[in-house]
């Protein structure tokens, strides 16, 4: 099995939804932490809404993998045996 990075989708392509969802989650976690110290007076709705949008991006990437066409593996034939016609 091939080792994939966190930003790759099921086919190994770069996924912009995963990249922006991950960056956004990190940003909003830091923002929530800084808000906890009381340096800024932020509305919690902004932080929760931003985390929800980023979580949606990450989840949407997983859901869209359902509809991608997956090619089945090629059947393995043993060339040493003869195939009988019935």
Cα(47)–Cα(29) distance, rounded to whole angstroms?
8
Residue 6 scores a pLDDT above 80: no
What does the pLDDT average to over 41-70? 81
Cα(25)–Cα(21) distance, rounded to whole angstroms?
6
pTM: 0.61
Cα(83)–Cα(1) distance, rounded to whole angstroms?
31
Query: What is the overall mean pLDDT for the chain?
Result: 76
CA dihedral 4, 48, 52, 25 (to 10 degrees): -20
């Amino acid at each position: 099995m091939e080792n994939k990075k966190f930003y790759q989708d099921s086919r190994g392509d770069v996924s912009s939804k995963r990249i922006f969802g991950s960056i956004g989650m990190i940003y909003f976690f830091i923002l929530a932490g800084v808000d906890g110290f009381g340096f800024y007076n932020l509305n919690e709705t902004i932080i929760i809404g931003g985390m929800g949008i980023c979580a949606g991006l990450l989840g949407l990437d997983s859901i869209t993998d359902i509809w991608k066409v997956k090619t089945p593996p090629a059947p393995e034939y043993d060339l040493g045996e003869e195939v009988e016609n019935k």
